[in-house]
A and B are shown apart, each in its own frame.
Chain A
Amino acid sequence: MEQLYNVTQSMISAIAMLCIIIISISVIMLMYRAIVGPTNPDRAVALDSIGINLMALAGLMAILLVTTQLNDVVLLIGILLFIGTIAIAKFLEKGVIIERDID
């Protein structure tokens, strides 16, 4: 039983490290798309995906550090990302984020 526990624990931490490395590569590639990206919608999608990867990183850190304190952080990143994406989308479509009056 003790041996099984040790094997499982090392397996989980190894897989979490592997996932962190892969997500870091993904974030670097998305940074390229966000900076170079030919059009503005490309940049919007890239920034959104970077935020999703950040949420995944926070979740993986919670697994590695064996804590529940980071769950609020995941939720917080999600909410701020949602509002940021809405702002970018509205800017791309209307050219203004907060309108003076809506008719």
Chain B
Amino acid sequence: MIKTNDLILRTTTTLIAFILFGFSVYLFFAGHNKPGGGFIGGLMTSAAIVLMYMAYGMESVAKIIPINFRVVIPIGLLIAVGTGVGSFIFGQPFLSQTFAYFQLPILGKTELATALLFDLGVYLTVIGVTMTIILTIAQDRKDETA
């Protein structure tokens, strides 16, 4: 059998993976006023990582991204709970949020909301759950003679 050649896939992956990461960051910051937010941003990031896994195989990408995705889940959940509990410090009810406008150097006048921190927790949790599920399914053939 002729060995399959996926040169086109690998070459485009090096370009498209970065576009996907950029788009996921855009979706993450577009949240809570427009379509977007932590959940879909996390899905987009994990889609980019899955694309890299599909193009370059398990071992190479595990060397490039040395993150145990099971650790990312509790970190994200802790950030999400922490933004809820943090409102107690200011004497507010659980999960209350606020926003303000800041003058940032490059971006100009920007709206920064505490909901963004909650979104960060959701983002990390979604990445961890999705990558754990996909990689666990992919490693399922370990004991067989693949």
Contact = CB atoms under 8 A, between A and B. Distances in A.
A73 B57 contact: no
Interface string B31-54: 000111000100010010011011
A94 B36 contact: no
B102 interface: no
Interface residues of B, number: 28
B138 interface: yes
A102 B27 contact: no
Contacts of A83: 47, 50-51, 54
Interface in B1-45: 4, 6, 9, 16, 20, 23, 27, 30, 34-36, 40, 44
Given A72-B30, A94-B4, A101-B59, A80 B35 contact: no
Contacts of A69: 34-35
| Majority SS at the chain A contact face | helix
Contact of A72 (B4, B27, B51, B60): B27
Given A72-B35, A72-B36, A100 B58 contact: yes
Given A69-B34, A75-B23, A96 B141 contact: yes
Contact of B57 (A70, A86, A102): A102
Contact of B56 (A79, A94, A97, A102): A102
Interface residues of A, number: 22
A61 B35 CA distance: 15
Contacts of B134: 98
Given A72-B27, A72-B34, A100 B57 contact: yes
Contacts of B50: 83, 98
B60 A79 contact: no
A9 B16 CA distance: 39
A79 B35 contact: no
B23 A86 contact: no
A63 to B, nearest CB: 17
30 contacts: A69-B35, A70-B35, A72-B27, A76-B27, A76-B44, A79-B23, A79-B47, A83-B50, A83-B54, A86-B51, A87-B54, A90-B6, A90-B9, A90-B54, A93-B4, A94-B4, A97-B54, A97-B138, A98-B50, A98-B57, A98-B58, A100-B57, A100-B58, A100-B59, A100-B146, A101-B57, A101-B58, A101-B59, A101-B60, A102-B57
